[in-house]
Amino acid sequence: MRKLGTVAIAALGAVAMLPAQSALDGWVTTWTTAQQLIAPNGPPRPARQKGPEASNLPASLADQTVRMVAHVSVGGRRVRVELSNMLNAQPLEIGAAHLATAKSGGEIVDGTDRVVKFGGSESFTIPPGAIAVSDPVDLEVAPLSDLAVSLYLPRDTGAPANHTVGLHTAYISKGNVVGSRSMPEPVTMFAYAWLAGIDVAAARDAYTVVALGDSITDGFATTRDANMAWPTLLAKRLKENKSTQHVAVVNQGISGNQVLRDGAGISALARLDRDVLTRPGVKWVILLEGINDINIRTRPNGPNQLTAEELIGGYRQIIERCHAQGIKVMGATLTPAVGVPTYSEHGEEVRVAANRWIRAKGNFDAVVDLDAILRDSQHPARLKAEDDSGDHIHPNDAGNQVMADAFDLGVFQK
């Protein structure tokens, strides 16, 4: 392996630069975002939201600092950060990385700024196709708080590995300002670049629930900087319930993602290892995905028409692979989509059949019937008007709250 800069990092398929530590069983994932590599600006944002409709993700960065905000679920006294270059074709040089408790407007809380090292080095390079896990950082992290991760990129990065539906404002400033209390003359964006996960050393009974899905899980139609995606709202409910305060919920949704095929991000089947199985402390997965498979592959006269059996086969694969790692899977029924341009009667038949299988006893370890709570009682193929963001497929803030409230928290006490 070639050594770049001051640190050599393992290739794809291995976790790079694991910190020297006698026991890692106290680590749990408290925040994630599913990385993808697509054109800068990404999919358009809903027009009703404030601010620019696009993510404003630059085509590349050079001699710039990017500060990103992550809303964690469970807290802890030590933190480590995961950066990903898995989907990029060139090495990524990090000149400096800092972590702090975040305030509004890109500021950080006085006294919380910490240098983040990787393999003992403050600057390092991540080869193409690799990830890097930082050394532990001593920082008291409160549950449901915001952390700021600041990265200085000294040279041209090329296209960032990214997540374009960033529900928190990120800030980009000229030069190395990773330790600055506020970001000088920042340009804002609404994406995550290279930041893939945050773990905390938590209580021994703490564990993680992964929400695996598409744009409905990603929070595509929710209000920015308001923490209104249903996985975040579920994390809040778990924290407020004394018997589930130790349970984290992390969001691994990708807008446009499919179960069976690559498109907007690699398919759920292909990213299962990366986004679920290798995450520390995972005990449950909530699977809400399949509506994009349906809408893309059931168009009239379209090629490779999707069948319910094919989609269910994908579900079975995910369940079996999770069970092999001791992880339970909760199935979420697919929500209505009539009114979107790609809707078809055949697609609705596939959705109904898939939901019938999801609800059937014994297929999943547990079920949450989101279809039942979000559908219009008079028109069951349509979202309730009060929960519809306006595009007839993505629930609004109120709809996301309804979804979060539908979960039986007793399931997570077992």
The answer to whether residues 284 and 388 belong to one domain is yes
Q: How far apart are CA 219 and CA 165, in angstroms?
A: 8
Q: What is the mean pLDDT of the chain?
A: 90
pLDDT over 50 (residue 24): no
Task: Please check whether residue 285 lies inside any domain of the structure.
Answer: yes
Q: How far apart are CA 117 and CA 13, in angstroms?
A: 22
Confidence class of residue 263 from pLDDT cuts 50, 70 and 90? confident
Average pLDDT over residues 114-141: 96
The answer to whether residues 194 and 267 belong to one domain is no
pLDDT over 60 (residue 23): no
Interior angle at CA 402, CA 237 and CA 163, nearest 5: 75
> Which of 165, 198, 231 represents a domain boundary (last residue)?
198
The answer to whether residues 245 and 192 belong to one domain is no
Task: Please check whether residue 270 lies inside any domain of the structure.
Answer: yes
Which pLDDT belongs to residue 52?
A: 37
The answer to whether residues 33 and 116 belong to one domain is yes
Is residue 224 within 8 A of residue 259, CB to CB? The reply is: no
The answer to whether residues 285 and 321 belong to one domain is yes
Task: Please check whether residue 4 lies inside any domain of the structure.
Answer: no
Which pLDDT belongs to residue 37?
A: 60
User: How many Cβ atoms sit within 10 Å of the Cβ of residue 147?
Assistant: 24
Residues with Cβ within 8 Å of residue 303, at least 6 apart in sequence: none
At 279-309, the pLDDT tens digits run: 999 999 999 999 999 999 998 888 889 999 9
The answer to whether residues 259 and 164 belong to one domain is no
Q: How far apart are CA 166 and CA 226, in angstroms?
A: 12
Q: In which domain, by residue range, is 161 found?
A: 27-198
Q: Measured between alpha carbons, how far is residue 124 from residues 134, 160, 198 in Å?
A: 11, 16, 18
At 177-232, the pLDDT tens digits run: 999 999 999 999 999 999 999 999 999 999 999 999 999 999 999 999 999 999 99
The answer to whether residues 324 and 392 belong to one domain is yes
User: How many Cβ atoms sit within 10 Å of the Cβ of residue 123?
Assistant: 16
- Helices 230-240 and 397-405: crossing angle in degrees, nearest 10, is 50
pLDDT over 90 (residue 17): no
The answer to whether residues 172 and 193 belong to one domain is yes
Q: What is the Cα gyration radius of the chain?
A: 21
* 336 phi, psi to nearest 5 deg: -65, 155
Which pLDDT belongs to residue 8?
A: 36
Is residue 90 within 8 A of residue 129, CB to CB? The reply is: no
pLDDT over 50 (residue 387): yes
pTM of the predicted model as reported, rounded to 2 decimal places: 0.91
The answer to whether residues 225 and 164 belong to one domain is no
Which pLDDT belongs to residue 194?
A: 96
At 94-112, the pLDDT tens digits run: 999 999 999 999 999 999 9
Task: Please check whether residue 257 lies inside any domain of the structure.
Answer: yes
At 315-355, the pLDDT tens digits run: 999 999 999 999 999 999 999 999 999 999 999 999 999 99
Q: How far apart are CA 313 and CA 297, in angstroms?
A: 16
Give the lowest-confidence range in 12-26, 297-311, 368-382. Answer: 12-26
At 48-62, the pLDDT tens digits run: 344 334 789 999 999
Residues with Cβ within 8 Å of residue 72, at least 6 apart in sequence: 30, 31, 141, 143, 144, 145, 146, 147, 198, 200, 248
Which pLDDT belongs to residue 300?
A: 86
Provide the 3-class DSSP secondary structure of residue 401: helix
Task: Please check whether residue 15 lies inside any domain of the structure.
Answer: no
Average pLDDT over residues 73-78: 96
Task: Please check whether residue 290 lies inside any domain of the structure.
Answer: yes
Q: How far apart are CA 355 and CA 369, in angstroms?
A: 9
For the chain, how many structural domains are there in total? 2
The answer to whether residues 166 and 72 belong to one domain is yes
Higher-confidence residue: 383 or 15?
A: 383
Q: Which CATH number does the domain housing residue 211 bear?
A: 3.40.50.1110
Q: Cα dihedral sign for 132, 137, 141, 143?
A: positive
pLDDT over 90, % of the chain: 85
The answer to whether residues 276 and 321 belong to one domain is yes
Residue that has been written with the tokens 């009703």 in this structure: 48
Is residue 229 within 8 A of residue 306, CB to CB? The reply is: no
Task: Please check whether residue 9 lies inside any domain of the structure.
Answer: no
Which pair of structure tokens corresponds to residue 328?
Answer: 């339970």
The answer to whether residues 190 and 325 belong to one domain is no
Q: How far apart are CA 100 and CA 106, in angstroms?
A: 11
Task: Please check whether residue 271 lies inside any domain of the structure.
Answer: yes
pLDDT over 70, % of the chain: 90
> Which of 198, 223, 238 represents a domain boundary (last residue)?
198
pLDDT over 90 (residue 266): yes
> Which of 172, 198, 224 represents a domain boundary (last residue)?
198
Which pLDDT belongs to residue 36?
A: 83
Is 18 buried (19+), middle (13-18) or exposed (0-12) by CB count in 10 A?
Answer: middle
Confidence class of residue 86 from pLDDT cuts 50, 70 and 90? confident
- Which is nearest to 318 in space by CA: 359, 291, 288? 288
Residue that has been written with the tokens 């330790």 in this structure: 179
Which pLDDT belongs to residue 126?
A: 96
